[in-house]
Amino acid sequence: MNDIRTLAIIKPDAFGGGKTGKIIDHLESAGFGVLAARVVHLSRAGAETFYDVHRGKPFFTSLVDFMTSGPVLAMVLEREGAVTRLREVIGATDPAEADPGTVRALYAESKERNAIHASDSPDNARVEVAFFFAGVDLA
Ligand code: ATP
Ligand code: MG
């Protein structure tokens, strides 16, 4: 996939905390369009599959607990350089290390409860878009 689409998830802390509108405003101001969006309450199996790369790490069970603690908003976002630009816009995993003005610096609570997910490569973006939007015509 060319780097024009990426997958973002507004995580349970931010979705349940009423920060969805502010975060989408931030993303639109950064030049992203919302191509598709879906509210999902992930199952344990679903969260484990989505974060399979982290299976076995010390924070894995806690991460799955968190990601299944409430609904999330999964979105396909579109702009040139989508993957790279969204990673810049959301900031570092730990909000204490995120650049000022990034989504995580503004809205994350902690390294785990960090408001938003973004795909980390175009290949993973394709896999992650398919995870949430299988069978959806995004053309
Ligand atoms: P994401 O994949 O959600 O966009 P990321 O790519 O910045 O985040 P990853 O290393 O892929 O970071 O970690 C996935 C998620 O797991 C993090 O966003 C965070 O919620 C949680 N996490 C990562 N490292 C830790 C840690 N050391 N302690 C607690 N939670 C962590
Ligand atoms: Mg990641």
| Structural domain of 125 | 5-133
What domain count does the chain have? 1
Q: How far is the CA of 67 from the centre of ligand 2 (A)?
A: 13
Examine residue 127 and state whether it is found in any structural domain, yes or no.
yes
The per-residue pLDDT for 139 is: 76
The pLDDT tens digits for 11-44 are 999 999 999 999 999 999 999 999 999 999 999 9
The per-residue pLDDT for 2 is: 77
Report the percentage of the chain scoring pLDDT > 70: 99
- List, in sequence order, every beta strand (DSSP E) within the chain: 5-10, 33-40, 72-78, 116-118
Q: How far is the CA of 26 from the centre of ligand 2 (A)?
A: 20
Examine residue 108 and state whether it is found in any structural domain, yes or no.
yes
Q: Does pTM surpass 0.95?
A: yes
Residue 77, classed as helix, strand or coil, is: strand
CB-ligand 1 contact for 114 (6 Å cutoff):
yes
Examine residue 139 and state whether it is found in any structural domain, yes or no.
no
54 is known as an active-site residue: no
Residue 64 has pLDDT above 60, yes or no: yes
Q: How far is the CA of 55 from the centre of ligand 1 (A)?
A: 12
CB-ligand 1 contact for 109 (6 Å cutoff):
no
CB count, 10 Å around CB of 32? Answer: 22
- Beta-sheet strand order (sheet of 72-78): 33-40, 72-78, 5-10, 116-118
Examine residue 126 and state whether it is found in any structural domain, yes or no.
yes
Examine residue 92 and state whether it is found in any structural domain, yes or no.
yes
CATH assignment at residue 57? 3.30.70.141
- List, in sequence order, every beta strand (DSSP E) within 11-57: 33-40
Q: Given the residues 26, 41, 54, 117, select the one marked as catalytic.
A: 117
